Amino acid sequence: MILKHLWSFALKPEYTAYRGISTDVRIKVLASAVFWNLLLGIGLAILAEGIFISLGIEQGEHKTVEMFSSYSLPQVFLLMVILAPLIEESLFRGPLVFFRKSPYFPFAFYMSCILFGLVHLGNFENSDHLLPWTPLLVAPQTLMGFFLGFLRVRLGLEYAILMHMAHNGLLFLLISFTELP
């Protein structure tokens, strides 16, 4: 169901909020967005990794993993799961409200998705030699920006923040259980 709404929105982004829907339905939309973003984002990441491996391109260690060796778990949790979503959603999705009645909303929306992806290029070591591969490298984050923007427009900024927190929280748990001694 959400994929149909996402596809329609992708083809013609409009700043139109869902009105009169219950909190239960909002939570279901949020959960569905988290699920599909993770599924599609992981698929994109696997595809990108396969291409990089087959071409012999080294990505280096991801800065998120590096953070776990530099900070305590509570500090990483605060930075990654609480602060990053609040700050990033305020910066990238918050300003969309200023374009809600503008004919430039589709442009502003897609720019917010692209900029969100690009800002995550800094998460990769040796990113200079990866510049030609930027679209592929940050495709999962750009896709996430689309999902977050959709939720921001349809349900409100708080739902984009919640999705971002859920995503980063799952990543935090995954790295915590796989990277630490």
pLDDT digits 0-9 by tens, 96-130 = 999 999 999 999 999 999 999 999 988 877 667 78
Average pLDDT, the chain: 93
Question: What whole-number distance in Å separates Cα of residue 147 and Cα of residue 176?
Answer: 25
Lowest mean pLDDT, pick from 1-5, 14-18, 21-25, 147-151? 1-5
Other CB atoms within a 10 A radius of the CB of residue 113 amount to 22
Q: What is the token pair recorded at 158? A: 């708080």
**So where are the chain's domains?**
2-6+21-179
Position 180 pLDDT exceeds 70 = no
Banded pLDDT at 179 (limits 50, 70, 90): low
Position 177 pLDDT exceeds 90 = no
DSSP symbol at 59:
-
User: Containing H/E element for 62?
Assistant: none
**Average pLDDT for residues 15-41, to the nearest whole number?**
96
Lowest mean pLDDT, pick from 24-33, 55-64, 137-146? 55-64
Share of the chain above pLDDT 70, in %: 97
Say what the pLDDT of residue 58 is.
84
pTM recorded for the entire structure = 0.93
Position 76 pLDDT exceeds 70 = yes
pLDDT digits 0-9 by tens, 16-28 = 999 999 999 999 9
Question: What whole-number distance in Å separates Cα of residue 134 and Cα of residue 48?
Answer: 11
Say what the pLDDT of residue 127 is.
66
Q: Among 151, 161, 179, 178, which Cα is nearest to 18's?
A: 151
